[in-house]
Structure 1
């Protein structure tokens, strides 16, 4: 089923638009905040502080993920999406006020933690709701379209932040105004989610303890149990864990290189504008992945598609990362983003297809939690050994090796799952 036929489903269109609004605001907020802290001429920041900023931005949902999963499988997802988006909008405005008044350090970091955490919660809710608005046979195409275009819209939001900073100024006041605009995305996302009927996004059945506290306490264990006994999901987790760890190292390297080492490349300026161009290359890669993943899986099979994507990412990481210059970094951003998105779409489809609706929210929440923790650990370890200017061939090689480890893990778990399946009898 092509995108045009998918868009004929009214529920899918509304959920897609809600995702677009949410992720546009996310991209604008995160880039506006990064510009305010990392590329703000009024604030001095060290490479280590940049690394710590990445860690704290990824921590919140790593901690609350299991709890969110239990709630998504217990509460009306439509109501959750509306309330979470509105709360995020309020906190975005508070964060913008802090930026504009020069607040830094722990208070601003804590606000960012909560805003990003709510964004992850909203993303898990949107993914868990998708099977309620499209037929099950079309989940792969629908997921590829929504996740891919959502990621592209997020990059568009980041580009808007770069443009708004040029308009409002790069100091605290201009950065605060830029960050505040992100509230528009949260309000629109809440309004679009509110148009669904009560219960339309699930869960259909509530398989939970009598009290919410017990449900929250069991969320992590339930999600882990279900994922572990589903070979397609467990194997996908191995592949995506490797990608997120490698991507975390690459992200830290790219920001530091762009801040301290890269030189202008033709019309592309180093600094935040150059980082925006790299994000744009990544967005193109994500878009290409979204348009080709379903065909790749149909032609090659899920296993070959995932292994091939990890192999391409490894080659790009080593061959294009080692020169540590902007032109090769742009190509590497495209290839790594494309390969990573192919893997993610395969894993998303496995969760949506092979996990029951009564536990799907918990598995998606566990999914986000594990991958954010992996990225946090990777960034933290890299920050401990990275040079001040970000030039580290050793870390590039380490990121390449992680992709190879992911390929081996995916292969082993897939084989184990195939061996465990009962053989047909005559």
Structure 2
């Protein structure tokens, strides 16, 4: 999550007559100048992204005209997720140099064009590099849009209300992406699951990017920053220095290092579970009452995971207030460990559905706790660079786990021992988390 290097804009000052540190509330927040438009850009973007990811995933995995082996599934997931880490740091450096209104407008239009290319490739039946390259480019360009949305927020919301605004934007944006994915799954049932249907569903996703471009054009030039730019370093130099600075700041703060270890092991375990679950829905499971196999069942699992994310938003503040952040993380990791063991022992469609909810719930609680640790304990002068490192931990660890599981898994995903290995990863996360907190206590005493 890059941060702006600009000064505080006038849009981020208190409203006339408004006492400092007063909660706006949802209704007044939505009436804040510029925030409603920026939120609409995010919704359009993330709906289109959810459409694109679900349509491309369906084209690769649940297409009767293509036989997807575990490595093909892993490659597809890597294409969708790696740009968030490989391009994200460069995006952060560039949007601190370019007019962010132009970034939102231009990147949305470029992404719409790339989605058209991907849809054409899917329609033609091509695969491999011909499909992955434009899909990789589309996902990468989308990173510019999401990064620009994040750093533009202080220009449309008073500074003391950023936590409220960011919570609303991120939570509602994730829900919108899930709606986009569900839309793609529903459209596939209507237009067909072959190359023609998959291509058509992928093409519909351009509606999100085009809508985002129109909405972004409504901002005046320069309204979203940056107010100042740093021309003393090249972009590449800024990124490389940023990684080193972020790593040093993380290691120097044991509580943050502990949080990173917890999040990293969760993403590794979650990557293993994701790959195996996709294969099980595609090849091994059959319908069980109201629970469906195939793409429809995957849609049900996505809905349950989204419910887990929403529940985490309600539970996490209560848990942290009652137990403190370290214990909240440990409890979440313990629950996730037993969930993975249940998957290993009772591998079935109902258990996978329950696990989709529980793992999304516990993983999001860990993530929210890590967000709070980074935002509260890392100095503001290195906060953006630590978040760039955070992005690497979050996405690259997940993709590496998916790739490893793809190499080790049988074609149908029936691998209880891999689910047990994921449970072991959570245990290692617990140990690493505890060791770093012990280091923090030693440093506090010395």
TM-score, normalised with respect to structure 2: 0.85
* Number of the residue aligned with 2:20: none
| Aligned: 1:104 with 2:104 | no
The aligned counterpart of 2:429 is: 406
Structure 1 residue 165 displacement after superposition: 1.0
Query: 1:113-153: per-residue Cα shift (whole Å, max 9, x none)?
Result: 22222333433343344455445555444433322222221
The corresponding residue for 2:235 is 212
CA contact (8 A) 2:63 2:194 kept: yes
- C-alpha contact (below 8 Å) 1:92/1:115 kept by paired residues: yes
Q: Do the aligned partners of 1:283 and 1:337 also contact (CA within 8 Å) in 2? A: yes
Q: Which residue of 2 aligns with 1:95?
A: 118
1:9 matched residue in structure 2: 32
- My pick for the range that moved more, 71-80 or 40-49, is 71-80
Q: Aligned partners of 2:230, 2:245: CA distance in 1, in Å?
A: 11
Partner of 1:258: 281
Partner residue in 2 for 1:36: 59
For 1:245, the equivalent position in structure 2 comes to: 268
Root-mean-square deviation over aligned CA pairs: 2.7
1:371 Cα deviation from its structure 2 partner: 2.1
Name the residue aligned to 2:76.
53
Aligned positions of 1:61-100 closer than 5 A: 61-100=84-123
**Measured at CA, do residues 199 and 360 of structure 1 come closer, stay the same or move farther in structure 2, by a change above 3 Å?**
farther
Matched position secondary structure for 1:189 = helix
Higher Cα Rg, which structure: 2
Q: 2:369 aligns with which of 321, 334, 346?
A: 346
| 8 Å contact from structure 2 (residues 108, 213) kept in 1 | yes
Change (3 A) 1:206 1:157: same
8 Å contact kept, 1:132–1:201: yes
List alignment gaps of at least 5 residues for structure 2: 1-22
Greater mean deviation of Cα atoms: 337-346 or 122-131? 122-131
Aligned-residue offset at 1:20 = 1.8
C-alpha contact 1:60 1:117 (8 A) present in aligned 2: yes
Q: Deviations over 1:277-315 (max 9, x none)?
A: 101100111111123323332333222222222222222
Mapped partners of 1:348, 1:81: distance in 2: 25
Gaps of at least 5 residues in structure 1 are none
Distance between the aligned counterparts of 1:338 and 1:208, measured in 2?
Answer: 43
The reply to whether residue 168 of structure 1 matches residue 191 of structure 2 is yes
Shift of 1:59: 2.9
CA distance, structure 2, for counterparts of residue 355 and residue 78 of structure 1? 29
Tell me the equivalent position of 2:147.
Answer: 124
